[in-house]
Amino acid sequence: MKRISIFKNFNYNLVAVLVSNAVFAFGISILSRKLGPVAFGEVNSFIAFIAMFLPLIIHGSSTYYMREYSKNDNEEEIKRFFNYTLLLFILLTLVFSIFFTFSKMYEISMLAKIIYVILICFSQAIDLQWVYRAKEATQKIAICLSVTSVINLCLVLVFLPVMTPEIYLYLVGFTKVLNSVLIIIVEKSYRKYFTFIILSFTSILKFKPIKGFFPVLILSLSGLLNLVYIKSDLVMLSYFGFDLEAGYYSSAYTIITLVFIIRATLLSVLMPSLIKTYNKNIFDFQERLTVYLKVGATLGIIVTGLIYFSNELIVSILFGQLYLEAIPVLNILLIMNLIVFFNMGLSASLVAIGKDKEFLFATLLAATLNIVGNFIFIPYFNMYAAAITTLLSELTIIIMSLIILHQGIYDINIVKVFIKNIIQFCLFGFIAVFITVVEQQYLQDTLNVYILQIINSIIFVSIFMFLILISKKITKPEISLLMRVYK
């Protein structure tokens, strides 16, 4: 694979994300109307429940082996990746199958639940996207993601007349596996990778030890805990009997999830070069970290402002008038979304410097805060409690990340670098919000609400970008850093 610049990698990934998000949004829009808030909330609660445990397969393994592969380009890391992920695939499939055999947690059919678990866990176990990201050559990921997204939409449309939660789960599981298989097939070494998969199953049956198992498990637990306090909201709303609110919350969080995909894509593109610079030159590391913080802040504020000023329009288009009750929760989650974007450079840095155990403790603290808060407050404040506890959990993560990095990197004042960049961008965001709100007061009685929201969004982004340009907070050398390939 030919290594390309961060900018080109991001562009390829952005195209794929836009295609997949557009297709996903259209499919969800159709599905939410077909099923209604209660059934829509249940199927998303089930998906969220399974998703909480998927980091045990893919999060730690992809992060750890990408970090090792970025250092030495050794394909043995790919073999070790399969050894770990396929073992976890087998274990999780067995655990979930036993659990759903005796549990009546969801009204979805037993067969659909088990088949979905098998498909989704296997798709994660053979997902080699991290290899392309480590090699900083993500064109093929973009192509595969776009193709499978379109296939998924076509299948949704074909089965729409008879759509049920069970059929939807089959379609999602199938397209996830298809995407992972395509990513392997489009690489020249695909035969070698399939051989690795077969050898890994053989190795598991012989109970051979897996190199790097415990470091990977620690990273996986961090990812698990992170998803626990994100996905457990839906599960707990259903558990306490707030099925309608679970539907509203699911619609709001679906919008945030679409944004998270952009953030996750950008993070995965930035991480390999951050790992390389940290291991070679600490000053190059600081330079890149500063740029990544600025990029994260810029995208976070733009996306948050766009959704906030057009929230009614977005909810109406995606889910219909029945879901407008989700807007207050969506606005709370938007603040959480902004914090997640601010934390992007910090999360990548923690991986780069190998602070896996410390990050596990941070996510454990955040997950505990979320779960305890949900158990105490959801019975009284339903979906609003879920949104606020998730926001507080993300604040905990960013504070702990700063503490860990400050103690782990002595040559750079991480806290100073972070605060200096984030506060300046937040100030520009507040100014843009203030001017947009003032403009809204003058126009709200004369324009249709949807037209007004479109105008507000355009004005907000224009003002924010204008302030960045005239202040030169993102310089030409920083832009060129994103354009060149790091050797």
State the greatest distance between any 2 C-alpha atoms of the chain, in Å, as a whole number: 73
pLDDT digits (tens, 9 = 90+) for 337-378: 899 888 877 877 887 777 878 878 888 888 888 889 989 999
> Domain extents for the chain?
6-483
Query: Of 361, 365, 57, 95, which is closest to residue 217 (Cα–Cα)?
Result: 57
Total count of residues recorded for the chain: 487
How many degrees, rounded to 5, is the angle at CA 427 between CA 426 and CA 431? 115
User: Which position has the token pair 């996986």?
Assistant: 220
Cα(14)–Cα(353) distance, integer angstroms: 27
- What residue ranges in 328-377 does DSSP mark as E strands? none
Inter-CA distances, 72 with 61, 65, 140, 258, Å:
17, 11, 22, 34
User: Which position has the token pair 């030890």?
Assistant: 209
Q: Cβ(366)–Cβ(336) under 8 Å?
A: no
Count other Cβ atoms within 10 Å, centred on residue 462: 13
pLDDT at 21: 60
Query: Of 118, 374, 366, which is closest to residue 238 (Cα–Cα)?
Result: 374
Query: Of 348, 362, 345, which is closest to residue 418 (Cα–Cα)?
Result: 345
Q: Cβ(301)–Cβ(259) under 8 Å?
A: no
Q: Which two tokens stand for residue 298?
A: 């810029």
Q: Is the C-alpha dihedral spanning 146, 229, 215, 56 positive or negative?
A: negative
Name residues of the chain where pLDDT drops below 50. Answer: 485-486
pLDDT at 23: 65
Cα(376)–Cα(369) distance, integer angstroms: 11
Compute the half-sphere exposure of residue 2: CA atoms within 13 Å on the CB side of its CA: 4
At 410 the three-state DSSP class reads coil
pLDDT digits (tens, 9 = 90+) for 142-166: 788 888 888 888 888 888 888 888 8
Q: Which two tokens stand for residue 53?
A: 């445990």
Count other Cβ atoms within 10 Å, centred on residue 419: 12
Indicate the DSSP class of residue 411. Answer: S
pLDDT at 41: 77
Q: Phi first, then psi: give them for residue 108, nearest 5 degrees.
A: -65, 145
Q: Cβ(292)–Cβ(369) under 8 Å?
A: no
Cα(47)–Cα(238) distance, integer angstroms: 13
Q: Cβ(268)–Cβ(14) under 8 Å?
A: no
